[in-house]
Every structure is written in C-alpha cells, then in structure tokens.
Chains A and B, each alone.
Chain A
C-alpha cells in the first residue's frame, strides 16, 4: 500500500473527500449567510434550522407524498425559501431600524422554536434517507474509492455556489443587490423596490440553506439537531472569510473543510476545534477576515 508521511494514501484521500464534503456545506451555508448579511445586516441564526428543515422536507416529500430525491432537490429549497419570506415579512422586517443584535436574538429564538417543534414531532434519534438509485454505488479512481453520491454533493454545491456568484456579480438583478448593499437610500430613490429586494434576498439565502439540507439528508441522518452544531462552525468560517466577498465565502468554506479533513488524518483529537483555532489566528493577524474589508 502506498503511503504519504506514514499515512496510507487511501485513508488520506478518503478524509480529504470527507473534508471537501464538509467544505461544500460550509461554503453553501456561509454563502447564504453572507448574502443575507450584505443586504439585511442581520446574522441569520435560523440558518441551521432552515438547513435542517430542508433535510426534513426532503424526508417528508418522500414518505408522505412519495416524491423522490430529485423533486426534493427543487421543492424543499423553495418551501424553505417561502417560509423564510413569511418570517422576514412578519418578524424580521420590524427590526431593521434597531440595533443589529436584535436581529441575531430574534433569529436565535426562531431557531429554538423550529428545532423544538421538530424534536417534538420526530424525536432526536434521526430518520434514514436513502441515496437515490442513480447516485448509488461508487467507482474506483485507482488511488481511492469514490462513492458517487459524495462526488455529487461536492459538484452540486460547487455549481450552485458559482451560479449564485454569477447572478450577484454579473446580472442586472445582482447589480441592484450590490448597489442596495452599498447604499439603500440611493437605490430606492432610483425606483428600485428595496423592501421587496430585501425579502427576496432573505428567501434566496435561506433557500440555499434548504438546498444544503437536501444534499445532506442521505449522508447524515435527518435529525432535528443537525443544523444547530453545524451553524456555529459556519459562523467561524464566516469570521475567517469575512463577509465582504461572495467568492471569498465559497473559497473559505471549501478550504476550511479540507483543513478539517487533513487534521482528522494527522491529529484527530484536534479535528473538532481546528476551525476555531484558525479563526483565532486570523483574528490576531487580519481581524477583518481573509477576504473582508476593514469596517
């Protein structure tokens, strides 16, 4: 068996792939947070719960309506996004004139409500969701065995992230969005319906979380607590990347996932904390984050 630094290559690449998958979730989730933060100036603490809802909606579609994975991949993010729009209109919209920490507190409370509700209904043991037949199995790449579904997760989230980047940086709608992020009043004066833009942005941001949830459903068991712990790590990712750039959050997400995977190979005890350590180091060296602009 081939080895690198005394580690079997199959194990090394296996962990790197796992890291890449985690990175895919970090990237998709931190991207959603960054988009929302850019325009709404709130940190969406409900993001983890919305990711969890995406997974649960996929499970519900399959078990209650008989609609499979591909339907879920479209319908679950839409449902999460629509719910998000309702939340934004009814609750978050009342806080824009207040200190930003109230937005954080409100969405934290909402996360508790949503997670508590799902825990009440479905327990904490987790529900299984099988990998769709088209993506089952795996191929031998020569240096490692690649389960197809895992490869799909990485490709799918990469495509969605890049599409998001394209929409925001290269289209007219994205230009409105960027302009509104810079100067809301001026954009409103030009006749753009900013409140609607804000609502749609929130809906889109949380739909990204829902999408990540559907991707995660076959890998991790569908569980009411699956979002809560993940979202804290994603916060650290966001701090490392800084929220100034869209591409920055994508790159940071994948990068930190890989670092975490590598840590699992070389020093497993630190795998859970390595992202937080990196966050501390980045704060010491470059407080605004790797891609952030100084406040």
Chain B
C-alpha cells in the first residue's frame, strides 16, 4: 500500500514562524532592565535581592527541566554548596566578594559534573530520585563537615569590598550588583536556549533515540546542560550567601530543591521568563506568611497540587498562550 510510505507534508503555520522568532524578547528584556533599575525604590532592597537570587536559581533549574527535559530533585546541593564555599572563602580566607562568588560557582560546576555524569545514566523518574539521593548525600556532608559549621552554618559573613574598591555594606549598592549578576545570568540562559546547542538540547528532550540516530551524543549534551544549570544555581547560592551574610543547612536541604521546582512550576516550565515570576510569587508568599509557621508548608503543598492538576502551563505559560508568542 502506498499510504504506508506516504509522508505528511510539513507545512509551516503562522504560529510556527512566530514560535521561531523571539524578537519580542528584546522588549521584555528592556522592560525587565527598567524594572530592575527601579525596584530598590519600590520595595525593600534586601527583599528584592532575595527575589533575584531565587529568580536566577529557578531560571537555572528551568534550563535543565524546561529545555533539557530533566527533572532534578537535588538542585539544592549546588545552590547550598556554593553558598557554603563562598561564605567560607569570604569569611575565613578574607577573599573579595567577586572571588568568593567565583569560587562557589566553580565548586558548584565541579559538583554538577560529578553528580550529572552519574545521574544522566538513568532517565525520567529515576533521574529525579538519583539527583535527590545525591543531594541528600551533600546535605549529610554539610551537616558533618567541619568547615560548614554544622547546625549553626557560617554566620556573619563579611560583604567586603568588590574588587577591593566598592564597599558592599550599603544595601542599594549591593542590590545593583546582584541585579547585574541576575540580568547577565538570564541573558546567558536565553542565549543558550536559542543557540544551536539549545536546539539540539530540545531535540533530545523531545525524542532522544532520534537525536542519537542523527549522530548527536545525547549524554554529552545532557551533561553540559546539567553543568550549566548547576553552575548558574551555584552562582545564585554564592551571591545569596554574600547578600544575607549567612550560609546554612536550609540552602542544602531537600525542601529547597522542592521550592525551586515549585517556583518553576508556578511561573511556567520551559518559558524563559516564567521561573523568575514564580520565584517572585513564592518569595513574596513566604514573606507574608512567615508568621503562620507550618502553614507555609501546607499552603506550598496545596499550590503544588493545584498547579499540577489545574495549571500546568504556569503564569507565563498561560500568558504566552494568550499572546500566542513564546515567552
């Protein structure tokens, strides 16, 4: 029968053309830059910095989940370990903040290479369980190792002088540094997603055997995206340690891994701008509900369930569908 070999002619619809063009992202980035510049005059700078740290963390996580199709349940390991290393470097070795942050990020990349190389040997749900287990291992390490300060964490980390000249004691000065780090981080993620590398990454997400049959070494791509994601998560954690002058067990605990999943889910998996919206929502919620104690956990759990059942595309995902443009 001829019908069996008949191929469906590929017709590019208007939506496909739009989906490939992301020129409107320039407008979003410009608006974001304006918002970042104005933010410290609208909200408390420390709060804004907290949102930005988590926004970068969630965006880095989304690079792996939304574009690599890999659900890691252990991203707290990179976030938390980098925050410990940068706090320790700044406090005990007296390094300048930029060196401490770089060192923390480098450790996160290294850890990401190790954990990533082993984890990508399993797929799907197993991958989530393996990363969770490794993160728990890192948590126990942080609990027992001497340099992390155990239950106390590393407290009173000096913010220090950036490049030895700019004093970061002032919240607003530090805010603009953090905003710059976040903005550059997001640009890097955007660039990766829309590069030829990102295209192959998405191809592997959609159909791994096919990508392999086309000659791409899927595991190498997965490992690279895992390292990138781990490194940027580490960058977020390292910056957070300097901002809050604290590195603690909270940052390596599995609840942190869960929170970053929640942020990404609320904002919209696989959208460039979703995770930061989700991070803002979650951090704001935690701020207002802090007085209610265990209710925060319950409410987060309920939102998790509600998002999975009713709102899988997330806020920005919904927006993108309404505007019929990828965001």
A276/B137 contact (C-beta < 8 A), A109-B305, A112-B301 known? yes
**Which residues on the B side are within 8 Å of A136 (C-beta)?**
none
Say how far B125's CB is from chain A's closest CB, in angstroms. Answer: 5
B23 located at the interface, meaning its Cβ lies under 8 Å from any Cβ of chain A in the complex:
no
**Which residues on the A side are within 8 Å of B73 (C-beta)?**
104
Interface residues of A in 86-115 (CB under 8 A from B): 91, 94-95, 98, 100-102, 104-106, 108-115
Q: Are B137 and A273 in contact (CB under 8 A)?
A: yes
Say how far B145's CB is from chain A's closest CB, in angstroms. Answer: 10
Interface size on B, residues (CB 8 A): 42
Contact flags (1/0) for A99-134 with B, using CB distance below 8 Å? 011101110111111111101100000000000000
Q: Are B308 and A105 in contact (CB under 8 A)?
A: yes
**Which residues on the B side are within 8 Å of A277 (C-beta)?**
137
Contact flags (1/0) for B289-314 with A, using CB distance below 8 Å? 00001111110111111011100100
Residue of chain B at shortest CB distance from A106: B308
Q: Are A109 and B303 in contact (CB under 8 A)?
A: yes
A100 and B122 CA atoms in complex are apart in Å by 14
Say how far B275's CB is from chain A's closest CB, in angstroms. Answer: 15
A108/B126 contact (C-beta < 8 A), A94-B309, A113-B305, A284-B118 known? no
Q: Are B128 and A120 in contact (CB under 8 A)?
A: no
Q: Are A113 and B132 in contact (CB under 8 A)?
A: no
Q: Are B305 and A106 in contact (CB under 8 A)?
A: yes
Q: Are B128 and A101 in contact (CB under 8 A)?
A: yes
Q: Which of A42, A102, A108, A295 contacts B123 (CB 8 A)?
A: A295
Sorting the interface of chain A by its residue count into under 10, 10 to 19, 20 to 34 or 35 or more gives 35 or more
A117/B298 contact (C-beta < 8 A), A276-B136, A279-B130 known? yes
A109/B121 contact (C-beta < 8 A), A116-B294, A272-B144 known? no
Q: Are B305 and A110 in contact (CB under 8 A)?
A: yes
**Which residues on the B side are within 8 Å of A273 (C-beta)?**
137, 140-141
A42 and B121 CA atoms in complex are apart in Å by 19
Q: Are B301 and A91 in contact (CB under 8 A)?
A: no
**Which residues on the B side are within 8 Å of A120 (C-beta)?**
293-295, 298
Q: Are B129 and A95 in contact (CB under 8 A)?
A: no
B201 located at the interface, meaning its Cβ lies under 8 Å from any Cβ of chain A in the complex:
no
A238 located at the interface, meaning its Cβ lies under 8 Å from any Cβ of chain B in the complex:
yes
Q: Are B137 and A283 in contact (CB under 8 A)?
A: no
Q: Are A112 and B304 in contact (CB under 8 A)?
A: yes
A280 located at the interface, meaning its Cβ lies under 8 Å from any Cβ of chain B in the complex:
yes
A108 and B128 CA atoms in complex are apart in Å by 12
Q: Are A287 and B121 in contact (CB under 8 A)?
A: yes
Contact flags (1/0) for A229-268 with B, using CB distance below 8 Å? 1001101101100000000000000000000000000000
**Which residues on the A side are within 8 Å of B47 (C-beta)?**
none
A94 and B306 CA atoms in complex are apart in Å by 12
A110 and B302 CA atoms in complex are apart in Å by 7
A229 and B254 CA atoms in complex are apart in Å by 9
A43/B130 contact (C-beta < 8 A), A109-B301, A110-B305, A276-B136 known? no
**Which residues on the B side are within 8 Å of A269 (C-beta)?**
144
Q: Are B308 and A287 in contact (CB under 8 A)?
A: no
**Which residues on the B side are within 8 Å of A101 (C-beta)?**
71, 124-125, 128
Q: Are B122 and A43 in contact (CB under 8 A)?
A: no
**Which residues on the A side are within 8 Å of B265 (C-beta)?**
105
Say how far A159's CB is from chain B's closest CB, in angstroms. Answer: 28
Interface residues of B in 9-25 (CB under 8 A from A): none
Q: Are B294 and A272 in contact (CB under 8 A)?
A: no
Q: Which of A113, A115, A283 contacts B122 (CB 8 A)?
A: A283
Q: Are A239 and B122 in contact (CB under 8 A)?
A: yes
**Which residues on the B side are within 8 Å of A37 (C-beta)?**
125
A186 and B21 CA atoms in complex are apart in Å by 45
A229 and B135 CA atoms in complex are apart in Å by 12
A43/B129 contact (C-beta < 8 A), A105-B265, A287-B121 known? yes
Q: Are A238 and B121 in contact (CB under 8 A)?
A: no
A109/B302 contact (C-beta < 8 A), A43-B129, A100-B124, A272-B140 known? yes
A37 and B307 CA atoms in complex are apart in Å by 22
Q: Are A95 and B130 in contact (CB under 8 A)?
A: no
B212 located at the interface, meaning its Cβ lies under 8 Å from any Cβ of chain A in the complex:
no
Residue of chain A at shortest CB distance from B309: A94
A109 and B134 CA atoms in complex are apart in Å by 21
Q: Which of B71, B123, B125, B295 contacts A116 (CB 8 A)?
A: B295
Which residue, of B118, B141, B307, has the highest number of chain A Cβ atoms within 10 A?
Answer: B118
Residue of chain B at shortest CB distance from A41: B125
B261 located at the interface, meaning its Cβ lies under 8 Å from any Cβ of chain A in the complex:
yes
Residue of chain B at shortest CB distance from A292: B126
A280 and B134 CA atoms in complex are apart in Å by 8
A-B contacts, 13 of them at CB < 8 A, read A43-B125, A95-B308, A105-B304, A106-B305, A106-B308, A106-B309, A108-B304, A116-B295, A119-B297, A228-B254, A229-B136, A232-B136, A233-B133
Given contacts A105-B304, A284-B121, 8 further A-B contacts (CB under 8 A): A91-B309, A104-B71, A104-B73, A109-B300, A109-B308, A239-B130, A272-B140, A279-B133
